[in-house]
Amino acid sequence: MPTTMQISYDRPEATYYPGETVTGRVDLHVDKPQRVRAVSIVFKGEANVRWSERHSTGTGKNRTTSRRTYSAHDTYFSNKIYFVGGDSGEITLSPGDYVYAFQCLLPHSLPNSFEGEHGHIRYTARAIMHRPWKFDHAARAAFTLVAPLDLNMIPQAKVPIDMESSKHFCCLWCKSGPLTMIVRVPNGGYVPGQTIPVEIQVDNASTTEVQNIRGTLSQNLKWHATSKTKTTRRRMVDLVFDSPVKGHDSKIFLQTILVPPVPPSYLQNCRIIDLEYYLTVTARFGSAHLDLEIRAPIVIGTFPLVGPSYPVPGPGPSAAGPSKSADPSDPPAYPGGPMPSAPPGIPSPDLPPPSYEECVFQGNNIMDADDGDNQYTMGAQNFTPRYPVWNLSTPAYQNQTHEKY
């Protein structure tokens, strides 16, 4: 059996909050005597942004095209621990199995884990067996950092959304009656696992038919490089209503949106990636007329609104443990190690703890050539962060259409 290394975290889902201690072990199997300088592990938290664009200059025969790369980097912490050896000298490891326990205290004010098309906020551990004059043997494993975003502390999250937009259609010298669309949502903030009840009211006082209503809950991102900012959008959940609204007619459309596992809004404490969520609803005409659109901001948090006006716990136990009051100082038992019950320091009376599920968007390859990762680096190459998902009951209605009058 060749030399192997493996990193294991004590929490099966490898999800932590700022200020907690990451614990686990490195298992090293040595197949023959090895001269080494050290066996160590490096914990790192960092953010990277990178994308390329084509740029053209000149005209005609003098026109040239080049590719320009934009990037930015932030390091939040780096912590190195030696299990064997140090910066100098050499020792010999005999063949056999070695187990090295580790612990790393996470700083406060860390941004949330995030993986995206043009960058990431990533937390990793890299164990290395340093071999003089040879390739090092190494193992890499990522873990999820959940930065608490309590919706109860955000005024916008508590306020209902009630947005209205209208337009007139002109035909020669005549101006039609208005088409008015209203979008209503009970609150401005939600958590993954919760449903968002959406009401869309369309009053068509014109003679132009609305062919259908479309909508989407999307993740809007801004990537900040040294000299440029790039904006992208990822669709999460779609709303589809194919019922037309004819001239001088009115209808109400109802649907609930289940919030999937996604990172919280804003990505606080990260200066190079901004994240916001929007509910966009569009009345489409399928003609020469421009569509009518309403774009409402939605706050996605890690801890739900609590109180008599907000959703109550669901009927069954959470996937992360039994239904009981979550005390951050006494997390529920979890096979193989304790799982966090709720963001530390936030009271959660009568709420079952959340489960921790992989993001709806697939993650990225975490192997890093800058760190010397090569064919001798072991561990899963792809990583998708896990985010808290709450089992909460909310009023539900699925894709309903009603005549207003």
Q: Map out the domains of the chain as residue ranges.
A: 4-55+67-148+352-389, 151-300
CB 210 within 8 A of CB 167: no
- Is 4-55+67-148+352-389's fold the same as 151-300's? yes
Taking CA atoms, 1 is separated from 72, 98, 161, 367, in Å, by 42, 14, 61, 24
Among residues 347, 333, 339, 335, the alpha carbon closest in space to that of 14 is found at: 339
Residue with the two structure tokens 């390739």 = 135
DSSP three-state, residue 60: helix
Residues (pLDDT < 50) of the chain are: 312-337, 405
Q: How many CB atoms lie within 10 A of CB 357?
A: 20
CA distance 65 to 209: 46
- Encoded tokens for 189: 């903030």
CA distance 158 to 108: 26
CA distance 180 to 163: 11
CB 97 within 8 A of CB 1: no
CATH fold of the domain at 4-55+67-148+352-389: Immunoglobulin-like (2.60.40)
- Encoded tokens for 99: 């187990």
CA distance 326 to 303: 12
Write down the pLDDT at residue 315: 39
- Give the chain's radius of gyration (CA, Å): 26
Quote the DSSP letter at residue 314: P
CA distance 281 to 182: 9
Characterize 86-100 residue by residue with b for buried, 16 or more Cβ atoms within 10 angstroms of its Cβ, and e for exposed. Answer: eeeeeeebeeeebeb
Write down the pLDDT at residue 61: 75
CATH fold of the domain at 151-300: Immunoglobulin-like (2.60.40)
CA distance 106 to 27: 22
Counting beta carbons within 10 angstroms of the beta carbon of residue 274, is it exposed (0 to 12), middle (13 to 18) or buried (19 or more)?
middle
Among residues 13, 47, 7, 8, the alpha carbon closest in space to that of 358 is found at: 13
For residue 197, the one-letter residue type is P
DSSP three-state, residue 370: helix
Alpha helices in 242-386, H assignment, sequence order = none
Q: How many residues does the chain have?
A: 405
Write down the pLDDT at residue 343: 59
- Encoded tokens for 151: 């919706």
Helix H or strand E encompassing 120: strand 119-130
Write down the pLDDT at residue 274: 98
Q: How far apart are the first and last CA of the chain?
A: 76
